[in-house]
Amino acid sequence: QAQLVESGGGSVQAGGSLRLSCSVGGYTWSAYCLGWFRQVPGKEREVVAAIGNDGSSRYAEFAKGRFTISLDSSKWTLFLQMNSLEPEDSAMYYCAADPLECYSGDLKRDDFGYWGQGTQVTVSA
């Protein structure tokens, strides 16, 4: 049973940077898909970025060029480096994991079986 714990959220001004971390514990999968999602009240949880066991990564259009997902496999810690933050990036950010290879199509919330508790990111203008 995987346990995910996020950290690194906070408040930042537009143009600033934050790095989110997610510690993945109790994990012994040989195949996996790890991802970051975000959600604002009243809206669907949307994928930000994901990385698979083959090392490939993918990003939502809004994240391309600004965000970078990475995995320290020695510590089973997932990161999301976010640069050039905009007020529209304000949301609760969630770490997600699943013991299957990343689905080749558009990733959705239902594609992940394990979730962290979320960390708030607030970007002020």
How many alpha carbons fall within 13 Å on the CB side of residue 122?
4
Say what the pLDDT of residue 29 is: 80
Among 111, 76, 87, 65, smallest CA distance to 5 is for 76
Band of pLDDT at residue 77, cut at 50, 70 and 90? very high
* 30-57 average pLDDT score: 95
Q: How far apart are CA 33 and CA 120, in angstroms?
A: 22
Residue 103 reports pLDDT greater than 90: no
* CA–CA distances in Å: residue 110 to residues 45, 47, 70, 84: 10, 11, 22, 29
* 44-56 average pLDDT score: 95
Strand 77-82 to 67-72 pairing:
antiparallel
* Percentage, residues of the chain above pLDDT 70: 100
Say what the pLDDT of residue 101 is: 87
Residue 120 reports pLDDT greater than 90: yes
Q: What is the DSSP string of 46-114?
A: EEEEEEETTS-EEE-TTTTTTEEEEEETTTTEEEEEE-S--GGG-EEEEEEEESSPPPSS---GGG-SE
